Amino acid sequence: MSSFIKQIYNEHIKIYVRKPTWVMYFILLALVIGIAAVTQTTDLTNNHENWEQALEEENQQSQEVIQNLREADFNNELSIQMNEQAIERNNYRLENEIPPNEYGAWSFVEDNVFLLSLVSLFTIIVAAGIIANEFKWGTIKLLLIRPLTRTKILITKYISVLLFALWTLVFVWVTSLIVGMAFFGFEGFTATTVVNRPDGVQEVTLFSEVMKTYGFRLINLVMMATFAFMISAVFRQSSLAIGLAIFLMFTGNTIVEFFADRDWAKYILFANTDLQQFSTGNIMFEGMTLGFSITMLMVYFVLFLTLAWTFFTKRDVAGE
Amino acid sequence: MPNVAMELNNVHKKIGKHEIIKGVDFSVHSGEVFGLIGPNGAGKTTTIRMMVGLLSITEGQVKILGKSIQSEYRDAISEVGAIIENPEMYPFMSGYKNLKHYARMHPGVTDERIQEVIQLVGLEKRINEKVKRYSLGMRQRLGIAQALLHKPSVLILDEPTNGLDPAGISEIRQYIRRLAEDENIAVIISSHLLSEIELMCDRVGIIQHGKMVNFESIGKSDDQDEDVIKLQLDVTPKDKAQEILKDQLQIDSSIQKGFLSCQIEKDHVPSIVKVLVEHEVDVYQVVSMKGTLEDKFFELTGENVIE
């Protein structure tokens, strides 16, 4: 076990000693501070004295939007559903006299969830390079003539990629929270908000909602990292792995939409990567369940890792 | 009988339908320096890569201290230190961090051992610099340090003197000899610098077209060949000397590069000199040419045609 941990440590050093990795973290930090600064200049007050009236107005607007969407001849089910959910949330607040939340650190962390696309991008870059770079540098030869089997080296590399994704996600979460506290104040761990659930509107703590949002995004992160890692192991080329993974990351939802009318569309990886759809009730295809999506994710996951393992352990390491 | 450290048994390598290695056999004993030479494309690097498990072996066996690299990989590879082709290290890390990196992959390599190998290869002053600022010679030294970290029984060095200056070459050569003699390590060296191999190795295997064509023991071969030697004479006038040798001693000679050359038995040297002096030929120099490994090599491999 100890040689295992030592090797994960080795891989961590090789990731974090390099300047490109520092640049990634610097970009994330700069973005978090920049977004906070810009957000502060906008009007954040939620008009507390007349909040009931404001919510009523919001509901009317949503109704109009729904009306317009219904009249349009293309399929808008998802947008209509989202507007309906907004109305449900507002009604819940009105009925139970819960005024809208003040903007604070938690809201800021929740808003910054979009930065996880950037974390995905960085994880893809690291995953794509972790094997391909050893071939590029020529160090693969010295790496593989050690008393560690190729399987063990592959596993330690894969775990290091997952840990990089996790550390970077935690970095975004923590810096957003600290910067958010400094700019907007802290709501505390017990502050609540109103969210939609399949069985109606509920009041939950902000903290648990933020954790949930980040947690669900981690799944997408892991799948993209695993895909890039597989390409890196199979083709031993980081540019190909980065290119393919980023392409799929950005076109994933488009691909699903394009094939949406086919029976097999729900078997596409990207139809299943967003598990939050089962929590909010905005499910992409009828008949999909949480169990189905988890099974599909496992199938893809095992497929990617089997391919990576087969190519990495069976193939010759020949000259240039 | 000395201990067999590395043994290759009828090793074949096929890539697709093309057979690159067509049965290589040799064994190297502990404390011996073995040279692997051959023209480019003969299969040296392929053989070495099979010996350390980077390439799969189509047929035959590689054993390190009796353990098969195929079926007992971890035990076998633990006994091997190697540089394969260029000593490539992580360029963005210091020499020391590179050594630490490899040390973590072997059980029981202490910090003292790392310092010891740094001193052995003489890199103390530059060890904390990044490898990308190292010269090829320094990388070569770091490569050797890396290969020795875990005190291997077999050391495999591909072109170890590549990129070293003459002082560095001589140092590494002495160092390799010391490793073999004092530490009883089996050292396997591949090189295309034949004179280098000749100075360093106890025994040489010549590989051509994926087959082992010959083994040479260096040192012993000189004694055996001493009956017939190649003689080079610096004399004036050369034509006259050539005639005298033909008439008086029935020796055929030729004029090459300003010297008079002939193949004779060693016993004849005094009489040749005597005859030439008697006929008033001025003798400036008499040199007996040793049969070099290079001669032997070209004799065996002929022209280098890559199949």
Residue-level pLDDT at A164: 96
pLDDT band at A306 (very low <50, low <70, confident <90, very high): very high
- Please check the confidence at residue B151 and state whether its pLDDT lies above 50: yes
In a domain, A319, yes or no: no
CB contact under 8 A, A141 and B53: no
Judge whether residue B305 has pLDDT over 70.
no
Domain boundary, last residue among A64, A82, A100:
A100
Contact A319 B85 (CB under 8 A): yes
Structure tokens at A291: 């169990």
pLDDT confidence band for B115 (50 / 70 / 90): very high
How many Å apart are CA B24 and CA B93, to the nearest integer? 38
Looking at the predicted structure, is the pLDDT value of residue B222 above 60?
A: no
Nearest residue, CB atoms, B104 vs list A6, A19, A141: A6
| pTM score | 0.83
**Same domain, yes or no: A257 and A114:** yes
Contact assessment for residue B95 and residue B128, using Cβ atoms and an 8 Å cutoff: yes
Other beta carbons within 10 Å of B225: 14
Q: What is the pLDDT of residues B260-271, one digit of tens each?
A: 888 888 788 888
What is the predicted ipTM? 0.81
Give the residues across from B155 on adjacent strands. Answer: B81, B187
Quick one: pLDDT at residue A61? 87
Q: Is the pLDDT at B2 greater than 70, yes or no?
A: no
Structure tokens at B83: 């540089």
Q: Which positions in chain A touch B90 (Cβ < 8 Å)?
A: 14, 137, 139
Section A268-295 average pLDDT: 81
- Please indicate, yes or no, whether residues A70 and A152 belong to a single structural domain of this protein: no
Instruction: Give the whole-angstrom CA distance, residue A129 versus residue A123.
Output: 10
In a mutagenesis test of the B interface, which of A141, A152, A157, A313 is the best target, namely the one with the most B β-carbons within 10 Å? A141
Q: Are residues A238 and A283 in the same domain?
A: yes
Same domain flag for A236 and A89: no
Judge whether residue B221 has pLDDT over 50: no
| Segment B167-188, tens digit of pLDDT | 888 888 888 888 898 889 999 9
Residue of A nearest to B75 (CA): A147
**Any A CB within 8 A of B82 CB:** yes
Domain residues for the domain of A23 are 2-42+102-314
At A320 the pLDDT is 47
- Verify that A307 and A165 share a domain, yes or no: yes
Closest CA to B49 of B92, B24, B84, B25: B84
* pLDDT one-digit tens code per residue, A162-205: 999 999 999 999 999 999 999 888 887 777 888 887 777 888 88
Residue B220 pLDDT > 80: no
Domain ranges of chain B: 4-217, 227-289
| Assigned CATH for B227-289 | 3.30.70
B263 three-state secondary structure: strand
Q: In chain A, whose CA is at the least distance from the CA of B44?
A: A319
pLDDT at res. B302: 65
Record: contact B54-A316, CB cut-off 8 A? yes
How distant is the Cα of A136 from the closest Cα of chain B, in angstroms?
Answer: 10
Taking all residues of chain B, what is their mean pLDDT, rounded to a whole number? 85
| Co-location of A146 and A33 in the same domain | yes
Answer whether A139 touches B (CB < 8 Å).
Answer: yes
In chain B, which residues have their Cβ closer than 8 Å to the Cβ of A18? 92
A23 shares a domain with A65: no
User: CA–CA separation, A320 vs A6, rounded Å?
Assistant: 29
- Look at residue A217 and tell me if it is in a domain: yes
Hey, which residues does B217 pair with through a beta bridge? B203
Taking residues B9-24, what's their average pLDDT? 88
Q: pLDDT at residue A75 above 60?
A: yes
* pLDDT at residue number A193: 83
Does the residue A320 lie in any domain? Answer: no
Query: Do both A81 and A112 map to the same domain?
Result: no
- Looking at CATH, the fold of the domain delimited by B4-217 is given as Rossmann fold (3.40.50)
Which ranges in chain B belong to alpha helices (H)?
44-51, 73-77, 95-103, 111-121, 136-148, 166-183, 194-200, 220-224, 238-249, 269-278, 293-301
Residue A301, domain member (yes or no): yes
Look at B112 and B213; give whichever has higher pLDDT: B112
- Which residues on A lie below 8 Å from B77 (Cβ)? 145-147
Q: What is the pLDDT of residues A200-252, one digit of tens each?
A: 788 888 888 889 889 888 888 898 889 889 988 888 888 888 888 888 888 88
| Mean pLDDT confidence for A97-117 | 86
CA angle B209, B24, B301 (to 5 degrees): 35
- Mean pLDDT to the nearest integer, B277-292: 81
Contacts of residue B79, Cβ cutoff 8 Å, sequence gap at least 6: B5, B64, B65, B67, B152, B153, B154
Query: In this structure, is residue A74 part of a structural domain?
Result: yes
Minimum-distance CB partner of A147 among B55, B74, B101? B74
Confidence band, pLDDT 50/70/90 cuts, at residue A115: very high
Give the other-Cβ count within 10 Å of B131's Cβ.
20
- What is the spatial distance between Cα A254 and Cα A258, in angstroms, rounded to a whole number? 6
pLDDT of A118 above 80: yes
Question: In Å, how far is B45's CA from the nearest CA of chain A?
Answer: 8
User: What's the number of domains chain A is made of?
Assistant: 2
**β-pairing verdict for B282-289 and B80-83:** unpaired
Looking at per-residue confidence, does B259 or A15 come out higher?
A15
Instruction: Using an 8 Å CB-CB cutoff, list chain B residues near A5.
Output: none
User: Side chain identity at A215, as an amino acid letter?
Assistant: G
B92 touches chain A (CB under 8 A): yes
96-135 in B: which are within 8 Å (CB) of A? Answer: 97, 101-102, 104-107
A272 shares its domain with A134? yes
Q: Which long-range contacts (CB under 8 A, 24 or more apart) does A215-221 make?
A: A216/A274, A216/A275, A216/A276, A216/A279, A217/A113, A217/A116, A217/A169, A218/A165, A218/A166, A218/A169, A219/A273, A219/A275, A219/A297, A220/A116, A220/A120, A220/A273, A220/A274, A221/A116, A221/A119, A221/A120, A221/A123, A221/A165, A221/A169
In the predicted structure, residue B299 carries a pLDDT above the cut 70? no
Distance CA B183, CA A48 (A): 84
Chain A residues close to B146, C-beta within 8 Å: 142
pLDDT band at A26 (very low <50, low <70, confident <90, very high): very high
CB contact under 8 A, A141 and B73: no
Q: What whole-number distance in Å separates Cα of residue B227 and Cα of residue A81?
A: 102
Q: Which residue has the tokens 């390409």?
A: A231
| E strand segments, chain A | 192-197, 200-205
Asked if A6 contacts B104 with a C-beta cutoff of 8 angstroms, the reply is yes
A147, part of any domain: yes
Which pLDDT score is estimated for B160?
Answer: 80
B52-87 pLDDT, tens digit per residue, is 999 999 989 999 998 999 889 999 999 999 998 888
